[in-house]
Chain A
Amino acid sequence: MDALFQALLLQSGYNAALVAVGATFLGIAAGSVGTFMFLRKRALVSDAVAHATLPGVGLAFIIMVLLGGDGRNLAGLLIGSALSSLLGLFLIEWIVRRTRLYEDSAIGAVLSVFFGFGIVLLTVIQTMSAGRQAGLQSFLLGSTAGMLFVDAVIIAVGGVVALGLIFLLRRPMTVVAFDADFAASSGLNVRRTDLLMMGLVMAVTVIGLKLVGLILIVALLIIPPVTGRFWTERTDRLMLIAGGTGGLAGYVGASLSAAYPALPTGPVIVLLCFGMFAVSLLLAPQRGVLAALLRRRRFQIRVHYRQGLLALARGEPIYDRLTISVLKKDGLIRADGVATEAGRAQAAKALRDETRWDIARQIHQDEALSARYDGLTQIEDVLTLDEIAEIDRRIGPPVGVPA
């Protein structure tokens, strides 16, 4: 536990601290860019972007070795991965634009073919220089173990730069993500903004390769916005929550894996994200599962209350358990099921309201009013007192419910 606190306070070594900071920035950047992709309903394009980096990594390694350099130079590998994911993006766009295949097929095709080709290149590398290939596999699942100082700096700086770019471009990207037609009609270049968005996704992916790995980086782009979506209906807040979720997961995840080196960084970060998502799914105030269940229960009780009162007014026996307990709780019936004074009064009112509704729906046959009749809405909420008085004049004086 101490090790974890040390790591959380950035005290477990300079590299670990730098990695934790880098992971935080990366998480924030990924969460915010992911928000745009999520709103644009193109979340899974980032999966293809991520998988398409693999052949670039492989080719960059091979080229650097052939040129006599060190194949593991992170900057070189990242440039390679950026180029190949760019090619992948271009191909997706080309397939969707030029053929009749849907975007999901294009995504899946690019993803699997690039990844497959990347695997071929990895086996080539394995055979071509047996000792030196170590490290490339770590791009699949990410690893902070044995990360060089330079690598940590690249990740941290990359995260900050990506974050700055997102901040600068947030207005046009929000507009395009939210309503592309509106953006186009107000003079924004939608295509260019989309490209910028994808460029940022690519940047985040490439920076996150070493840390989270190319299979799981997509989680950092998707889960935080989905988590945020449970808490808010506003784009700017969604971005903040998504960025916060991603940043927190990155920070805690990197610290955890610094404290317990056996825990792989990428999966830990992703599972932390998922934990926050699961909590949101259950507990969010409007869209959460718990809130939905409560809403359903409240509605159920209102229906039973109303139907119970009408049954009392018509002198029908009540058998339904829930109805009985609802009425009993409000003191409207006694334990033996006979209506109390208050119960009879309420029941008379309910029945009278029902009659009023009938008349009201005859008078106002327009849709708007009739549509509001659901057996639960109070007539006082819909009609004015004058109108109710007019209806009452037609149906005569109130009638009591016999005891």
Chain B
Amino acid sequence: MSSEFVQLSLTPLLIGIFAAIACALPGNFLVLRRQALIGDAISHVVLPGIVVSFLVTRSVSTWPMMVGAACAALLAVGLIELIRRLGRIEPGAAMGVVFTSMFAGGVLLLEQSDTSTVHLDVEHALYGNLESLIWFAADDWHSLLDWKALSALPPELFRIAIVAVLITLFIIILWRPLKISTFDEGFANAIGMRTQLLGFALVVATAIAAVAAFDAVGAIIVIAMFICPPAAARLMTNRLETQIFWSVFFATASAVVGYVAAGYGPLWLGADNAVSAAGMIATVSGLILAAACCFGPHRTRTSAPLASGDQ
């Protein structure tokens, strides 16, 4: 049992947790800044970025693809801003124009180019393939101390772990400016902060998290993790510091419970096959948010904790 777990489930579980945390951290600020849907837009435009970089390099190597995806994300953000300013269009609609068009372009390119030999398709892009990221070289827990086995870990694990650390550093280093500009942009401007630059940096961090997580787990978890854990955390507390910890906790819980429920749940229920882990993780994060909406101590707008049974 333990060797099977280490081989088949340990890495996907870790990847899921890292991806969830990397997305949930910037998500806290996005939710507070009413930019929650930026994550949605970015994870849609990652597909055309990957397809274009595949057509240019003709190979499915990770780094060019991540660069392509990141470029697409930045292009999308620039386009959204351009349309919003030039046409005086509300941001939501500008976003809708850009990400749907770019996604459509990506799908069209994908269908037109010969990608039958490589593993690149829309379904994969949407809900990833977390289950396939297994650790063949492992025998059991002792493999964690075995250098040879460790070097055979799926490379996705290292990438997403590095990105999770980078995002954490980004937030720790820019903590004060981020916090001040999120809650009171006017004040932040008045004391000389470059709030526009800061906002852009946040979007870049979001894009990096989205691209890295996308590589490992697909777009759908990315969107869910940007929004659900931070939104649920927002209903638990009035302090940003506490909210961040709650969101990390919720993200981790979603990843673990979702992965286990997808992999083992159906077996316990008597079915033969597992269901999509990505979908299940998103579902669990939704259930957590639903619970927070019903019982979170700071769920209402007045933000005073409710007396029990009130409302």
Contacts and interface: CB of A to CB of B under 8 A. Distances in A.
A119 B103 contact: no
A109 B289 contact: yes
A6 B93 CA distance: 35
Interface stretch (B10-18, B32-40, B185-193, B243-251): B32-40
Which of B31, B87, B298 counts the most chain A CB atoms within 10 A? B87
Nearest to A120: B279
Contacts of B278: 116, 119
Interface in B275-311: 275-276, 278-283, 285-286, 289, 293, 296, 298-301, 303
Which of B44, B107, B123 counts the most chain A CB atoms within 10 A? B107
A98 B299 contact: yes
Contact of A119 (B104, B126, B303): B126
Contacts of B112: 262-263
Which of A116, A216, A218, A225 counts the most chain B CB atoms within 10 A? A116
Contact of B87 (A43, A107, A137, A226): A226
A199 interface: no
A104 B35 contact: yes
Contact of A108 (B40, B107, B122): B40
Given A99-B300, A101-B31, A122-B276, A262 B101 contact: no
Given A112-B228, A117-B279, A47 B96 contact: yes
Interface string B214-241: 0000001101101110010011000000
Contact of B95 (A44, A115, A262, A287): A44
A274 B228 CA distance: 31
Contact of B107 (A102, A104, A118, A267): A267
A98 B122 contact: no
Interface string A259-287: 00011101110110110010001000001
Interface in B122-156: 122-123, 126-127
Interface in B98-134: 100-101, 103-105, 107-108, 111-112, 122-123, 126-127
B144 to A, nearest CB: 30
A123 B93 contact: no
Q: Which secondary structure dominates chain A's binding surface?
A: helix
A112 B280 contact: no
Given A98-B293, A100-B301, A108-B223, A274 B40 contact: no
Which of A95, A101, A222, A226 counts the most chain B CB atoms within 10 A? A101
Interface residues of B, number: 67
Interface residues of A, number: 62
Which of B283, B299, B300 counts the most chain A CB atoms within 10 A? B283
Interface of B: 31, 34-37, 39-40, 44, 83, 86-90, 92-97, 100-101, 103-105, 107-108, 111-112, 122-123, 126-127, 220-221, 223-224, 226-228, 231, 234-235, 262, 266, 271-276, 278-283, 285-286, 289, 293, 296, 298-301, 303
Given A38-B93, A120-B276, A140-B126, 7 more contacts: A41-B92, A44-B95, A94-B293, A114-B286, A115-B282, A123-B279, A222-B100
Interface of A: 38, 41-44, 47, 94-95, 98-102, 104-105, 107-109, 111-120, 122-124, 126-127, 137, 140-141, 215-216, 218-219, 221-223, 225-226, 229-230, 262-264, 266-268, 270-271, 273-274, 277, 281, 287, 289, 292
